[in-house]
Chain A
Amino acid sequence: MLSLMVRRAGFSLFSLLVVSLILFVLTRSIPESPARIVLGDDVTDAQIAAFDAQYGLDRPIIVQYLAWLERLALHGDLGQSFTTRLHMNVEVAATLPVTLELVTIAFIVAFLVSLTLGTLSAVFRDGPIDYAARLLAVLGVSIPGFWLALVLVLAFAVERDWFPPGGFVPLSEGLEAHLMSIALPVFCLSVFYMAVLTRMTRSALLDVLGQDYMRTARASGLSRLRVLRYALRNALVPVVTIAGVSFGHMFGLALIIERVFNIGGMSRALLTAIQQRDYALVQAVVMVFTIIFVVANLVADLVNAWLNPKLATS
């Protein structure tokens, strides 16, 4: 078990190294010089050289990468924005909690609903619940979340004023107002993943229930509920894997949902950075998202090892 954890964590680190190198090289390969973007159009070559020297942009790219990596790994330092001169950690600290809250709540909602729905669907296979769940699942993965957001704003915030049409009310301004302001975004964010996980739960559970040992268990007189509990424990493995991946992917959709609902989360920091050609910030945001993605996958693996210790030895 411990060796598995170490091995998995080691691979995640390797993964982050490779990916961060790719990201770093790509963000440095843009045709425009950052000096020109920041200092304006009338800069002289001497000013560009001075700027590059100040930010170490004149060094070989691999040296720049190692320096950046060292700061990130040892000090958790994401670097400094060229355009706003603001420290990226400040920017991320100001915006990440909002996005993280949305995604976490949406994830929990999606996970719980899909577990319930998927189980019901598998237990009552080919019944009305199953058909309804399967239909919803196909629709859920097919309707783009941002379109759903537009339609819901139209229906529930413009035509009726059940929900605010946008904006984020911090928790400090009251729980009810806070929850109302995140209700629609959380829903739009969770639908796709709810659908994916429902399908996953259903097919994994059907798979397990069809196995020989399950039939034996039932035949030997175990109660239906106990059988289901055992089956679920085994069926959860692929579901948890996909859930881990989904959690990381949700930040991508959050990028767009936050835009529709005008929520000042991290995603908007990214889009603003793109508009202002603030590559250092783009790089920082993408790196944070990628770290979250890798960590979520790692956690999923560890949960699986706990659920099914057999995996740990294989």
Chain B
Amino acid sequence: MELSRRTALGAGLGAFSGAWAREAGAQAGTTLTVALPTTPTSCDPINPPDHDWMIACQMVFENLVEYDIDGVLRPQLAKALPTISADKLTYAFELREGVRFHNGKILDSEDVKYSFEYMLNPANRAARGPTFSRLSHVEVDSPTRLRVILKEPFSPWMTFLTKFMGIWPKGSREELGEDHFRRRPTGVGTGPGLFEEWRPNDFISFRKNPNYWTPGKPAWDRLVVRQVPEDAARVAYLLSGQADIISVPPPRDFPRLRTRRGIQGGSRPTLGGWSFIAMNNARPPFDDLNFRLAMAHAIDRRTINERIYHGMVETAAVPAPASSWWFNPEANAKLDYNLDKARDYLARSKYPNGASFELACASVPYLLDSRDAAIFLQSELAKLNIEVKLRMAEQSVLSPALSRGELDALIGNFMSPGEATYMIMVYLTAGQFMSRSSNYANPRLEALMRAAFAENEDEKMKPILAEMQMLLADESPFLWLGFFSAANLWRDRVRNFKVSQGQTVTVRDVSLG
């Protein structure tokens, strides 16, 4: 049956049906409502919630530069992108003038220095602090000029700021305490939204910041970000006008919904959203290269991505999105779906007669439901005499187990800042918080990583990243299915909205028609 017919607004239901629709529209034109599937845990950018709820951090807090919805670095609180010293260790910024915090205080270099020092101090337990461990300190030259000093070259750090960092007033942490930043961050940001209310299990709301540094923005008066976990309910909210924008639409309904009258939709592959299978290389059967290669050739990525993920994953066998500038098609072509090759590698492995492993999968999906893909893999790999035992558990149980190296394998969809090295660094090099998920170590990969960090220009980085992909295709420490798409649906009255490659809904530039 066609969705459009089934849900077509019934004529003649008149007053009866109109009641709640009218109510929902009562504040139309002023309030923008976004519906997200998950539960917010914090508004503090240094202990960020999931990528959907980073909207709460990004409404309040801003950074020197922004890694924007297209994956382009742009100045935010800084006037321009920094000038970088020849040794690539010093980044000099000049701040915008007259930017005010929500408490009225003018932003200056001391605030920036204070914010970075707070985040870098291990005692303050910033969740992604280790990501920035190559940063040394900030030097203040004048109220509007400052330099960020690095310990060693680390070109991608600016792309991580938008998701994992923010600038708050000097002294505010001690004055207001950690809970203030987590639960009611009033007065401490420079962003377009003033924190208004957090109603647990319901919504977080913001008011327009009338003193925002870009005049005329935001173009709404109030933003309500609702928590609507059920897929069907989220769609119903959108169709009935109770929500203007929804995130993570049900993949299967997405193509039909986006062509409905009154509704618009968009999707784009994220630059850092791995759809993958993590394999613990220290545990059998993944301790054998030939077995991993057999797996890499045995997986029908296209069928999974088109039929099970309904086109919401852009296929790639290497950890680079096919639509990115750093994608290496040659490396990608090495890992084609070919059962003969798979059998060949399997015969050469330590496990010629098959093997058995436990595949973990989130029981409560976030971003994309992997359960059906896991079930498909189970039946596919059985053909090669590989027994897959499924283990379903909550993500909050699986993530710690993964990071402690306690899982054989995990199929999932993990989001990152959307830059070429972050995920590889975190999962496949030593000393990172997810290193034990793979237990993979390769001096060549580490060397390539350092070489990439020392380059600030795409063109110079490209051959290094290409070689990295080649290496990972040959070694297959993990299996990549592709990069999942960020997708949104929104009502016609929402103007200037664009899907973000970083997954987080971005509404600063949105207006309501």
Contact = CB atoms under 8 A, between A and B. Distances in A.
Interface stretch (B17-25, B336-344, B451-459): B17-25
B230 interface: yes
B229 interface: yes
B513 interface: no
Interface string A80-99: 00011110001100110000
A166 B433 contact: no
Nearest to A177: B23
Contacts of B39: 272, 275-276
B6 A165 contact: no
A264 interface: yes
B275 interface: no
Contacts of B183: 84, 86
Given A41-B404, A42-B433, A83-B41, A165 B232 contact: yes
A161 B17 contact: yes
Interface stretch (B69-77, B144-152, B235-243): B235-243
B400 interface: yes
B244 to A, nearest CB: 14
A264 B20 contact: no
Contacts of A159: 6-7
Contacts of B396: 37, 275-277
Contacts of B230: 166, 259-260, 262
Interface stretch (B194-202, B276-284, B305-313): B194-202
Contacts of B201: 94-95, 264, 268-269, 272
A28 interface: no
A160 interface: yes
A219 to B, nearest CB: 52
Nearest to A36: B400
A80 B16 CA distance: 44
A200 to B, nearest CB: 34
Interface string B176-188: 0001001100000
B20 A181 contact: yes
Contacts of B182: 85
Contacts of B26: 173-174
A269 B202 CA distance: 10
A164 B200 contact: no
A180 interface: yes
B397 A277 contact: yes
A187 interface: no
A160 B13 contact: yes
A261 interface: yes
B9 interface: yes
Nearest to A83: B41
A162 B13 contact: yes
A85 B180 CA distance: 11
A78 to B, nearest CB: 14
B227 interface: yes
A76 interface: no
A13 interface: no
A176 interface: yes
* Size category of the binding interface on chain B: 35 or more
B13 A94 contact: no
A160 B9 CA distance: 7
Contacts of B16: 162
B403 interface: yes
A287 interface: no
A162 B22 CA distance: 13
A174 B18 CA distance: 13
A167 interface: yes
A176 B230 CA distance: 25
* Size category of the binding interface on chain A: 35 or more
Contacts of A84: 41, 183, 200
A157 interface: yes
A164 to B, nearest CB: 5
Given A85-B182, A177-B20, A269-B200, A161 B240 contact: yes
Contacts of B399: 41
A284 to B, nearest CB: 13
A159 to B, nearest CB: 6
Contact of A95 (B127, B200, B233, B242): B200
A41 B400 contact: yes
Given A86-B200, A165-B236, A262 B23 contact: no
A169 interface: yes
A274 to B, nearest CB: 8
A66 interface: no
B10 interface: yes
A85 B236 contact: no
A111 B242 CA distance: 33
B365 to A, nearest CB: 12
A218 B399 CA distance: 73
A94 B240 contact: no
Interface string A34-46: 0011011110000
Contacts of A272: 39, 201
A25 interface: no
B364 interface: yes
Interface in A199-216: none
A165 B199 contact: no
B20 A262 contact: no
Interface string B218-239: 0000000001111011001101
B394 interface: yes
Interface in A264-314: 264, 268-269, 272, 275-277
A158 interface: yes
Given A173-B26, A275-B396, A276-B396, A262 B10 contact: no
Nearest to A164: B20
A37 B232 CA distance: 31
Contact of A158 (B7, B9, B125, B202): B7
B412 to A, nearest CB: 16
A158 B236 contact: yes
B23 A173 contact: yes
Contacts of A268: 201
B200 A180 contact: no
Contacts of A275: 39, 364, 394, 396
Given A85-B179, A159-B7, A262 B233 contact: yes
Nearest to A262: B233
Contacts of B24: 164, 177
Contacts of B22: 177
Interface string B390-405: 0000101101100110
Contacts of A166: 228, 230, 233, 236-237
A157 B235 CA distance: 12
Given A41-B403, A276-B39, A276-B396, A180 B433 contact: no
Given A39-B125, A162-B13, A165-B237, 10 more contacts: A42-B433, A161-B9, A161-B17, A162-B17, A174-B26, A176-B20, A177-B19, A177-B24, A275-B364, A277-B396
12 contacts: A37-B396, A41-B433, A85-B179, A160-B17, A166-B237, A173-B26, A174-B26, A177-B19, A181-B20, A262-B233, A262-B237, A275-B364
Interface of A: 36-37, 39-42, 83-86, 90-91, 94-95, 153, 157-167, 169, 173-174, 176-177, 180-181, 259-262, 264, 268-269, 272, 275-277
Which 8 A-B residue pairings sit nearest by Cβ, starting from the closest?
Answer: A165-B236, A177-B23, A264-B202, A262-B233, A166-B233, A264-B201, A41-B403, A41-B400
